[in-house]
Amino acid sequence: MNRFIFFSAMAIVMLMASAALALDSAALIGTWQLVENARDKDGKPCPFVGQQIQFTADGKMISANMPVPFRYKVNPAKGEAEGAITRNPDLKGMEIMLVMVGDSQNDWSKAPIVYGLQLKGNQLIMKVSGYTPARYKKQK
């Protein structure tokens, strides 16, 4: 009986910890202004981060440097996140955001664009593999 209680308590703690690590997708919604651009090893700016990015409640990511609004998914399923990290190992330890262009593809495990995210209050860090992190501030 004591083992059952112990394992139940451990399961609850683990669930609470994983919930605490999940990205608050509601806090992501809004308009974000670039504060520090991402750069490659030669100092060239990253073309995959915009001066301003808007995240909408219906899962769209909009920026002037994007030809069309992109679809995004935060807090992907475990297999989707693991696949993204396997393809982009320098994003390990960050929250994963999967991004797709248009509506033609629905298999998130094959999302062609992957960002690592860290969200703290009105500060957002977005990382693309091969670049330094870009830093954003939420607009009011």
Is there a domain that residue 3 lies in? no
Is there a domain that residue 17 lies in? no
Q: In the chain, how many domains are there? A: 1
pTM for the whole structure: 0.79
Is there a domain that residue 91 lies in? yes
pLDDT tens, position by position, 55-112:
999 999 999 888 889 999 999 999 999 999 999 999 999 999 999 987 767 889 889 9
CATH number reported for the structural domain that contains residue 50 in this entry: 2.40.128
Is there a domain that residue 11 lies in? no
pLDDT tens, position by position, 20-62:
346 788 999 999 999 999 999 999 999 889 999 999 999 999 9
Is there a domain that residue 48 lies in? yes
Is there a domain that residue 95 lies in? yes
CA atoms within 13 A on the CB side of 31: 7
